[in-house]
Chain A
């Protein structure tokens, strides 16, 4: 069961939901609209023997926007810290951006109860797409849970910047390494 706009507003007021910074004009009927932060990374594969290694490359702004290209993998973060100890979350793209062929969250839409941070966004453009920092890009819904909660102790819980996959960490570095 998803929280309505008024229930999310009450949960923010009571502290059951954290949205920081919070903009009370950014609601849909049952979700809060977030923007993309001001950092965009491209995850660039390099052939390495029979396999690949990966390194992040900052995407630079051109006339105030990033130019996203098809066939590349981009990581950004939400422009707000979002989380809740009481509710599970679902993060999805805004329909208006979906209409332009932009995939957000590569089948990973679930936000665990107990996590609170700026969420890493996985972005795929099916067409060349310009995107500006702080542009509205997605929405988060909050869902009631059944059962006793378990504390979240995920490796990504503490980071507010775009986080590389631990699968892409250099083999001789800790799994959470990020350049």
Chain B
């Protein structure tokens, strides 16, 4: 089952879900998560997925934002740290962001049960998009599991 927004808020209050910072706002079945303050630009790199290659450097995201370009690949962490040992988090795009052509993950939507950490967005723009630190760029749902961890 997927948790409703009020149930997510109650689970955060009860300590069954960690999500910080949390201002109390929920959607009917999710909580928005926001872009952090830095970005890694992988665009134009030849990526050797078989090797343990170093990541491109983290660049600060200026308050006025940065235009991401189609054809590029960027990664960035969520401002929020979240996770749960009781419910499985799944990260989804938001309609406003999807309609602007931005993929927020590539195959990587599910967070492991018990892991509490910022989420790394895999940003693939299909149209130019201006992103700013702190913008609500994705949302996370929480799902029940069959048994205790």
Interface positions of A (Cβ within 8 A of B):
1, 43, 45, 50-52, 54, 71-73, 75, 88, 105-110, 112-115, 120, 122, 124, 143-152, 154-156, 163-168
Known: A107-B109, A143-B1. A122 touches B28 (CB 8 A): no
B residues adjacent to A (C-beta < 8 A): 1-8, 10, 26-30, 67, 70, 92-105, 109, 126-130, 138-139, 141, 144
A contacts with B: majority SS: loop
CB atoms of B92 and A150 under 8 A apart: no
- Given known A-B contacts A107-B105, A167-B129, A143 and B28 have beta carbons under 8 A apart: no
A145, B104: Cβ atoms closer than 8 Å: no
Instruction: Report whether B99 and A147 are in contact in the complex, using a CB–CB cutoff of 8 Å.
Output: no
- Chain A contacts for B97, CB-based, 8 A: 106, 108, 165, 167
Chain A min CB distance to B74 (Å): 14
**In the complex, chain B residues whose CB is within 8 Å of the CB of A115:** 28
> A105 vs B105: C-alpha distance in the bound complex, in angstroms?
12
Q: Is the interface of B mostly helix, strand, loop or mixed?
A: mixed
Residues of chain A lying within 8 A (CB to CB) of residue B92: 107-110
Minimum CB–CB distance for A93 against chain B, Å: 13
CB-based contact B4/A148 at 8 Å:
yes
A110 touches B29 (CB 8 A): yes
Query: Which residue from chain B places its CB closest to the CB of A115 in the assembled complex?
Result: B28
**Least distance between B144 CB and chain A CB atoms (Å):** 6
